[in-house]
Amino acid sequence: MWPRNDVHMDDGSMTPEDQEPVTDNDMEYNDNGEESSYSNGSSSSYNADKLSSSRPLQHKLDLSASPSRNNDLNPRVEHLIALFKDLSSAEQMDAFTRLLQESNMTNIRQLRAIIEPHFQRDFLSCLPVELGMKILHNLTGYDLLKVAQVSKNWKLISEIDKIWKSLGVEEFKHHPDPTDRVTGAWQGTAIAAGVTIPDHIQPCDLNVHRFLKLQKFGDIFERAADKSRYLRADKIEKNWNANPIMGSAVLRGHEDHVITCMQIHDDVLVTGSDDNTLKVWCIDKGEVMYTLVGHTGGVWTSQISQCGRYIVSGSTDRTVKVWSTVDGSLLHTLQGHTSTVRCMAMAGSILVTGSRDTTLRVWDVESGRHLATLHGHHAAVRCVQFDGTTVVSGGYDFTVKIWNAHTGRCIRTLTGHNNRVYSLLFESERSIVCSGSLDTSIRVWDFTRPEGQECVALLQGHTSLTSGMQLRGNILVSCNADSHVRVWDIHEGTCVHMLSGHRSAITSLQWFGRNMVATSSDDGTVKLWDIERGALIRDLVTLDSGGNGGCIWRLCSTSTMLACAVGSRNNTEETKVILLDFDAVYP
């Protein structure tokens, strides 16, 4: 009992601040289970760390000194421990130093394994919560998911919503809420004789998946909503890139005719056809809502207004018709064009239509009033873009024209193409126009430059007409009748990637997500590409009749769904729309 009193007297000589760490050390030494709570819960000073390391040393010496690991049978070790406890802290350090000098390397390595954890720190448990959050604030969503797996305490801190909210907008993608897509046409699948969807889920697994889809907002969403949003966005991207396709549908309509145009707005899909009608479909329910009848000629162009209330269609009957999406009723018939209405663009409720009659007309679709006629092209107007003020049009006269929509005046004529202009892009913030032509080239224009110097890049490499383009920043993606997709840098004027794989003309292109592009082709396939790596991700749809007339005329998508219009010109493939679902629930 006397030696214990000595130890107690030594403790008494310390300052009150130092006394508590020593108590922690005692607890730690007596019960190994407490070590975890020590490292998790307490924050100790540098000096206390040195003190705390002495106990495990002593503990390990006991173990290593006794081959049988039974301390009671080794009175010499017990004697040594008793002597050690009598020493002051400084004397203990001196004894340690000399004992280490007497130890072999094997024992020293074992000591290191015991000591080292005491110099590591669980930052989320030791630091104030604000600092833990500040550290996590620097991590990506992917790293935060790993943090949540480390320990319960780390999980709690890593799920603080403020941390997830501070991730870049890019990572959350702001998808609409989870969808149903189990009724109507979704009850079956698009897999049928003649249609191959590689990677489609097996029918026996489909029912399980449909059941799981009903739980749209899971446990994580209730606990940490923004983490759940991140996980869903990540899952959706994987659904596009690699996961089995978990749902598909066939919308049948426009039998034996060509689907000439297709648009999506929220949950509404509109298809126009040379059967003189348009069909309005509800995507989630997989059914047709209305058939818009009234045109006396084939429909060749259509638009859905930004507000989603109007559908506008242009036809070979020379008229433009305005329909209501609420009930499918015809609101206005806009007359004035003297030939086929071939293209259109909308901004707000103002519509610009281009026609084979060489003119463009400006309309107000709410009132049905004709506002202006733009004269100047010498041949059919083939494509048009509109930002609400400025109209950009391309035509069969090889020119691109810039107009003021309010005054009807032609501001600029861009010349340089040697053949018909088939596709246009207009980015008004930068006054950039991209035009694709049958002369095989794509030209990039800046119409704020002096007249005659507007062409800032000439992109060459394609060997036929460019059917579609999309631009983000300085990256332009183009698809062409030559069967290739090209990725360009418009600032450098160079081709970054050429994507080969289609076997005939590409009909449509859609860029979504960060680097994913989907293309449809006359060869009867829909392909998904990674334009950053310049590689094919996978085939999404393949028609057996591809190469024998089966083709995919149009393609469009939302962030969670892809629609492609399928058919043929020789009746080898029935006309239909195939839908693929890439949605996911909130976990």
Partner 1 sequence: MPKKNNTKRAPPSVPKPSGPPPRLLQLTSSDGHLLQGDIRALLLSSTLAATIRELGYDKEYCAELKPVPVNNVVGFTLKLLIEWCDKHKEDDPAIALAEKDKKNICIPSWDRHFLSRLPMSNLFDLITAAYHLDVTGLINYGCKTVANSAKGKNAEEMRELFGIPEPWEQPSTSTATWDD
Residues at the site binding partner 1, with contacts judged by CB under 8 A: 17-18, 35-37, 39-40, 43, 45-47, 49, 116-123, 126-128, 130-131, 134-140, 143, 145-152, 154-155, 166, 168, 170, 220, 231, 587
Q: Rounded CA gap, 325 and 309, in Å?
A: 5
143 vs 255, beta carbon nearer partner 1: 143
Q: How far is the CB of 152 from partner 1 (least distance, A)?
A: 6
116 vs 492, beta carbon nearer partner 1: 116
68 vs 120, beta carbon nearer partner 1: 120
Q: How far is the CB of 174 from partner 1 (least distance, A)?
A: 16
Q: Rounded CA gap, 206 and 570, in Å?
A: 34
Are the beta carbons of 484 and 500 closer than 8 angstroms?
yes
164 vs 447, beta carbon nearer partner 1: 164
Q: How far is the CB of 167 from partner 1 (least distance, A)?
A: 8
Nearest residue to 513 via CA among 306, 236, 243, 246: 236
Q: How far is the CB of 241 from partner 1 (least distance, A)?
A: 18
Q: How far is the CB of 123 from partner 1 (least distance, A)?
A: 6
Q: How far is the CB of 533 from partner 1 (least distance, A)?
A: 16
Can you list the positions of beta strands (E) in 325-414?
A: 330-334, 341-347, 350-355, 360-364, 369-374, 381-386, 390-395, 400-404, 410-414
| Three-state secondary structure call for residue 175 | coil
Q: How far is the CB of 186 from partner 1 (least distance, A)?
A: 28
239 vs 263, beta carbon nearer partner 1: 239
Q: Can you give the C-alpha Rg of the chain in angstroms?
A: 36
Rounded to 10°, the helix 54-65/89-102 angle is 40
Q: How far is the CB of 474 from partner 1 (least distance, A)?
A: 12
Q: Rounded CA gap, 488 and 410, in Å?
A: 30
Q: How far is the CB of 136 from partner 1 (least distance, A)?
A: 7
2 vs 46, beta carbon nearer partner 1: 46
377 Cβ partners below 8 Å, 6+ apart?
358, 359, 360, 393, 395, 397, 399, 401
Q: Rounded CA gap, 395 and 399, in Å?
A: 6
- Distance of alpha carbon 402 from the chain centroid: 34
Residue 363's DSSP bridge partners are 351, 370
487 vs 556, beta carbon nearer partner 1: 487
Q: How far is the CB of 162 from partner 1 (least distance, A)?
A: 11
220 vs 365, beta carbon nearer partner 1: 220
101 vs 138, beta carbon nearer partner 1: 138
37 vs 504, beta carbon nearer partner 1: 37
Q: Rounded CA gap, 165 and 248, in Å?
A: 33
Q: How far is the CB of 138 from partner 1 (least distance, A)?
A: 3
Q: Rounded CA gap, 376 and 304, in Å?
A: 27
Place of tokens 């990540």: 234
Are the beta carbons of 465 and 505 closer than 8 angstroms?
no
Q: For the chain, how many helices (H) and strands (E)?
A: 17, 33
Tokens in use for 220? 């994580």
Tokens in use for 45? 């000073």
CB count in 10 Å sphere of residue 188? 14
39 vs 71, beta carbon nearer partner 1: 39
Residue 439's DSSP bridge partners are none
436 burial type by CB count under 10 A (0-12 exposed, 13-18 middle, 19+ buried): buried
Q: How far is the CB of 166 from partner 1 (least distance, A)?
A: 7
Are the beta carbons of 478 and 466 closer than 8 angstroms?
yes
Q: Rounded CA gap, 493 and 201, in Å?
A: 42
187 burial type by CB count under 10 A (0-12 exposed, 13-18 middle, 19+ buried): exposed
6 vs 143, beta carbon nearer partner 1: 143
